[in-house]
A and B are shown apart, each in its own frame.
Chain A
């Protein structure tokens, strides 16, 4: 029998290699050997994604590797997610990982980056509702309210479209709904300064970091009373 560490190591490696067959099989094997699904998610899949993100930042990995890692995550989550739900049910805690509404804001039709983030979030177990491109602010907010989302993710590549992300936050304020959602922003020209200036809850420089950001925000929501 393989020990837990080895299982997790193998899962992590499958994500780094971007091999969806191996990631599926190694997660299956780990579950069969009784490794708890939360460890598989955090110490296997997510720590693999973390390595991918670091390699991407160094330029060692590029878009193809990121796509493959996303797919490997998604394949693994197909069996890890049901196991997680079961695990939470047994523990009597909530297993919900969070609902995210994501969109490219109105006047912008670029979505390569948004799609990568969207699939990485889905792969990481979030319930993601991708509203597409050129989405009016009202539509984004209405959808978020309807689904009782935790996080709104907006993307804009064009610097001319970026102000709409500020408008979205202002609009939420005006509607008295700002505290109901965390708002994260992204796009080629978005930097942490901009994200802070418009009063968002953060930005990330790549898809893996976006997942980490979303996870930490969900953690904050779940552990802060009154949110």
Chain B
């Protein structure tokens, strides 16, 4: 008898599994290590096991998913959904694509999204915000205006009366750096005008007005109010973070984050573009899902501090070029093909309601920072706003690490940038035991010496695996920073050679089989799944393939400015919060630089978004800054391959790393370099 197997992909975990035809979905998830909640025990009561069925072609996995790939609904489940239809729509779900995973059986290939409410452990997206000194001059100002009451002797219209009053008080309330309000050309948004008469009378001829960019009244409130609230949003390929900010003080009131729901349609930017191209409603789905998330983040962050999302009057959004296009519902097709042209590189101001951000104040504007160059997006520009390399004398190298990495090098005289794909390894993909930076992921690894047991730390638990009471420290998998740590430590202790190959000596934590060699990072009793978590030879190869292009890209930038090495290196990125400078140098993902001059700056893009939100001049300078940066095209066809091959080693086949003296044994150039290239090791100058 032939048993049919189907491919089922669970998102946002990104776990792919094969399921026998007819198997219950929730059970299949469980076998794959995806735990879906249930309170009622399959009695169609609790609805905790609800999942979203994605429909369309998914090139990334080579499958087609659809509702018809699950067993048809029986009466009980039908009734369950029909009773809740309205409520679900209000919560932003499309009820037609929901199923109870305890009722549905797998009958074909599927992509399934497990909503946060159905997951047993909440995904932890760690993008902590730090304080930075910014002068507070947002693009909105709030004025309290007292009007002369209308009378038969004074029949000026309400709006005219308001303008006149604003003209009188505006110069008195303006601080240096604030936007000047030009009352000659001042306009009012229609919904505000529609409320105006009522508001004026409700506040007994006094009201508070919010003015955008000194030229448009976007909100009117009766009486006195000085609350001025804004939202900075960083849309990453994998996660979205929102910072609710007090625009008067600059204070962060609340931070909320979530997985980017678009992960369901493809993990990296290229597969999202593919999804948009391959499916008629692809772009719409991608766009709507991110808008829904931003609405949700606005609502949740406001709830934390007892505000209403309707209080948000200004929003700044940053993201890479593809996230930017999908947020704006712009076709990303041409971004996916050489010569990679975006619809626009300029900064944009849009009414939030035009984008469907209906939870925000109806008059609120959304500002998008400009793109620097095709794949060097607004997120990278935000990093520059936050770190300000253009204000330094030293030459800084900024590396924004992710599935796609952006690099910027230079100082106040000039800046150059480039981008390179690195693949999903840094975000925990493409590895046997890889996972995203979520609860239970190994994020730190220390290996004292080759004969000592490895120690690790998992996200969500402050203790190390060898501390007293460590039986609580259970690992689920390895995330990107854990992988960098582990491989750096394996190299430092000589368990792997500079070329990435495991030593052929018999060592205590090496497990050898006919097919492979693995290093046991966590023993079965230290893991959630009860099986060893290991790093295989193949995993190390994946990391080598991901880090080599970063190094080569940095070298090309250095070369273009005639520099030998940068004065300082900043490692940014959502998971860059956790990159350990020493480990980054050990594996050679960045060029040689004194250890005390390499810094992990964390989610710098989010900081930059906040700076743009708080200071309208900074956000205007951003456009100038974006245009002043020279883009260096990596010569993919010539020379790159040789450089790439040399950069596969830890830290490099030939380039010296004096900064690692005393940390790792000094390695002579790998004889392989001579084998490959003879006496003339290829130099960048030659290309």
Contact = CB atoms under 8 A, between A and B. Distances in A.
Nearest to B333: A160
Interface string B632-647: 0000110011001100
Interface of A: 18, 58-60, 62-64, 67-68, 107-112, 115, 132-134, 158-163, 189, 191, 193-194, 197
Contact of B675 (A18, A107, A189): A18
Interface residues of B, number: 36
B337 interface: yes
A18 B536 CA distance: 25
A163 B274 CA distance: 9
Contacts of A59: 516, 536-538, 540-541
Given A158-B270, A163-B278, A107 B338 contact: yes
A162 B57 CA distance: 13
B278 A109 contact: no
A110 B515 contact: no
A160 B270 CA distance: 6
Nearest to B539: A59
Interface string B51-74: 000000001101100000000000
A194 B59 contact: yes
B273 interface: yes
Nearest to B501: A60
A203 B499 CA distance: 28
Given A59-B536, A59-B537, A162-B274, A64 B59 contact: no
B277 interface: yes
A115 B500 contact: no
A191 B62 contact: yes
A41 B540 CA distance: 33
Contact of A159 (B60, B640, B644, B648): B60
Interface string B261-303: 0000010001101100110000000000000000000000000
Interface of B: 59-60, 62-63, 266, 270-271, 273-274, 277-278, 333, 336-338, 499-501, 515-516, 536-538, 540-541, 544, 636-637, 640-641, 644-645, 648, 672, 675-676
27 contacts: A18-B675, A58-B516, A62-B501, A62-B541, A62-B648, A64-B645, A64-B648, A64-B675, A109-B338, A109-B637, A110-B636, A111-B636, A112-B640, A158-B270, A158-B337, A159-B59, A159-B266, A159-B274, A160-B333, A160-B336, A162-B59, A163-B278, A189-B60, A193-B62, A193-B63, A194-B59, A197-B62
Contacts of A133: 636-637
Contacts of A109: 338, 636-637
A191 B637 CA distance: 24
B279 to A, nearest CB: 12
B274 A62 contact: no
A191 B515 CA distance: 21
Contacts of A159: 59-60, 266, 270-271, 273-274
Contacts of A58: 515-516, 537-538
A161 B337 contact: yes
A110 B634 CA distance: 11
A68 B537 contact: no
A110 B423 CA distance: 14
Given A59-B540, A64-B499, A107-B338, A160 B277 contact: yes
Contacts of B672: 64
Q: Which 8 A-B pairs have the closest CB atoms?
A: A59-B537, A160-B336, A107-B337, A193-B62, A159-B274, A59-B538, A159-B270, A194-B62
Determine which residue in A59, A64, A68, A108 has the highest number of CB atoms from chain B within 10 A of its CB, and name it: A59
Given A64-B648, A162-B59, 6 more contacts: A60-B537, A62-B501, A107-B336, A159-B273, A161-B336, A194-B62
A158 B645 CA distance: 21
Nearest to B60: A159
B343 to A, nearest CB: 16
A115 B640 CA distance: 12
B645 A160 contact: no
A62 B500 contact: yes
Contacts of B538: 58-59
B645 A67 contact: yes
A112 B648 contact: no
A61 B641 CA distance: 17
A58 B644 CA distance: 21
Contacts of B640: 112
A63 B270 contact: no
B208 to A, nearest CB: 49
A160 B675 contact: no
A198 to B, nearest CB: 10
Contacts of B277: 160, 163
Contacts of B62: 191, 193-194, 197
A162 B270 CA distance: 11
Given A60-B501, A111-B636, A68 B676 contact: yes
Nearest to A112: B641
A63 B541 CA distance: 10
A111 B676 contact: no
A163 to B, nearest CB: 7
A11 to B, nearest CB: 19
Contacts of B274: 159-160, 162-163
B26 to A, nearest CB: 26
A110 B60 CA distance: 18
Contacts of B540: 59
